[in-house]
Amino acid sequence: MKYKKLFPAFLFAFLIINSKSYSYINDSLKQTKVMVITEFGNIKIRLYNETPLHRDNFIKLVKTGYFDSLMFHRVIKNFVIQGGDPDSKYAAPNIELGNGGPGYTIPAEFNPKLFHKKGVLAAARDSDLENPSQASAGSQFYIVHGKIHNDSTLNVQTQRITKLKLFNVIVNRKENKYWIAKCPSFAKNNQTDSMKYVNDLISKQVESELSTVPVYKFTEEQIKTYKTTGGTPHLDQSYTIFGEVYEGLEVVDEIANSKTGENDRPVKDVRMKVVVIQ
């Protein structure tokens, strides 16, 4: 399974995280907190009770030491820092990473109250073509670095989200089942021409129907947050968010500023240790 990308494999589908005032969580419920320890400092994260499958899976992996010595193997400034690939533990320099995991996925837990502001913790996943249910990777996660937006860029993001949501609807239609069933095999065998063929097939259907569906709209809270705190809006409601950084955003900034090489892998390995702190 390939979790290197956070988004579908081609065309527009290729477009594929702290303060109390913007907290989503219910303060009346006890939240588990974890700490990501790096050479740049510590990142403290509260896990959301609203996404219990992802919360419990992450806690289980942390308690077994699963993440210890793994890398942030994919770092893109103004986008995300991504880790959790077990293949990164002993990976040689310049090796492409992002395909490893524990051998299972987690059902999507989308919540309309949760969105991709800077500092949120979310799960990576395979593309819609390989993964029409949008299930999450078993261990690979990302923390949003993001950027500040304005009315103009947010308008572009609403158009992008509208396309991506329609793309998933069409991927799941009965008439496309034959080709979608073949995509995991195409991806596994690096049959890029075949993947492109299916993507183009779905994309044409998207373009033909796009004018008939309502354009996605951000809430006032989303707009305010994306204009002040920043984030990566186009991932909203396509990837499961299950926590947020409450201390250590400056460490996320430091990691995001790492010099990277091929496949967005930091030139100097950025390793982690993750522990439960509450």
pLDDT per residue as tens digits for the range 12-70: 343 333 333 334 444 447 899 999 999 999 999 999 999 999 999 999 999 999 999 99
How is residue 121 written in tokens?
Answer: 């913790």
251 lies in a domain? Answer: yes
pLDDT at 180: 97
Residue located via tokens 């183009």: 200
For residue 74, pLDDT beyond 60: yes
What pLDDT, on the 0 to 100 scale, is given for residue 278? 75
Helix (H), strand (E) counts: the chain: 6, 10
pLDDT at residue 22 in the model? 33
4 in a structural domain: no
Residue 209 lies in a domain: yes
Q: Is residue 5 part of a domain?
A: no
In a domain, 44, yes or no: yes
Measured distance CA(88)–CA(81) in Å, rounded: 14
Residue that wins the pLDDT comparison between 194 and 1: 194
Q: Is residue 168 part of a domain?
A: yes
Residue indicated by tokens 């490893």: 100
Q: Tell me if 1 is assigned to some domain.
A: no
Give the structural domain span for 67: 11-276
Tell me the pLDDT band of 4, cut-offs 50, 70 and 90: very low
Element (H, E) at 245: strand 241-247
| pLDDT tens per residue, range 159-185 | 999 999 999 999 999 999 999 999 999
Within a domain: residue 118?
yes
Domain count, the chain: 1
Looking at residue 94, its pLDDT comes to 87
Q: How deeply is 128 buried, as exposed, middle or buried, from its count of CB atoms within 10 A (0-12, 13-18, 19+)?
A: buried
Alpha carbon 62 to its chain's center: 19
